[in-house]
Structure 1
Amino acid sequence: MEALPVTLLQVLAQTLQIYSLVLIVRVLLSWFPNLDWGNPVLSSVSAITDPYLNAFRGLIPPLGGIDLSAILAFLALNLLQGLITQSISAFYLSGNTW
């Protein structure tokens, strides 16, 4: 594996880490029903995270009115992050350097 793909994997890993934080913010904000989602900041958070969350909404039905799809979304994101981290680790463990 060349250094450039590893660098790209590191950038992707960091991007997914940031996205995870934004996703956590989105889930926490969903607990407050009186928020103004027309606010530019809240609207941006929603626009960034809702397409990803919507992909999982049909897979797990709500339980007692609680949307559990975020749990599956986090599991999928963590799985992807783990695969990327393993790929980066494999590069370094194979004795490759920059």
Structure 2
Amino acid sequence: MIEILSWILRIARYYEYAIVIYVLMSWLPGAQQSKLGQWLGRIVLPYLNLFRVIPPIGGMIDISPIIAILVLNFAVSGLSHLILLLF
């Protein structure tokens, strides 16, 4: 069971990296339209769109990726504590 928890933690960390890379790609012109950007968009955007209801601060700064990463970390932490509690 610890092996499964280790895989869950690893996948969540890689997904967090994918979110950060996708957000950083928005700063570079045309980066999100590249093959890598489109591929990351297919992976990351369904999750990020859940948090897009939060309006940007000052009309410019979108904090939804930060909240998405925090929710992902809280969910993984809660799941790992639950698994460790059961075993």
TM-score bracket relative to the smaller structure: 0.7 to 0.9
Contact 1:13 1:84 in 2 (8 A): no
Q: Which runs of 5+ in 1 are unaligned?
A: none
Offset from partner CA, 1:45-75 (integer Å, 9 cap, x none): 11111111110010x2111211111111011
Q: TM-score, normalised by structure 2?
A: 0.81
Do structure 1's residue 20 and structure 2's residue 12 form an aligned pair? no
TM superposition shift of 1:88: 4.5
The correspondence of residues 1-98 of structure 1 with structure 2, limited to 5 A, is 3=1, 6-32=2-28, 34-58=29-53, 60-64=54-58, 65-90=60-85
Larger radius of gyration between Structure 1 and Structure 2: 1
Contact 2:25 2:32 in 1 (8 A): no
Number of matched pairs: 86
Structure 2 distance, partners of 1:67, 1:36, is 18
Q: Percent identity?
A: 30
Contact 2:51 2:68 in 1 (8 A): yes
Q: Which amino acid aligns with 2:43?
A: I
TM superposition shift of 1:90: 3.4
TM superposition shift of 1:36: 4.1
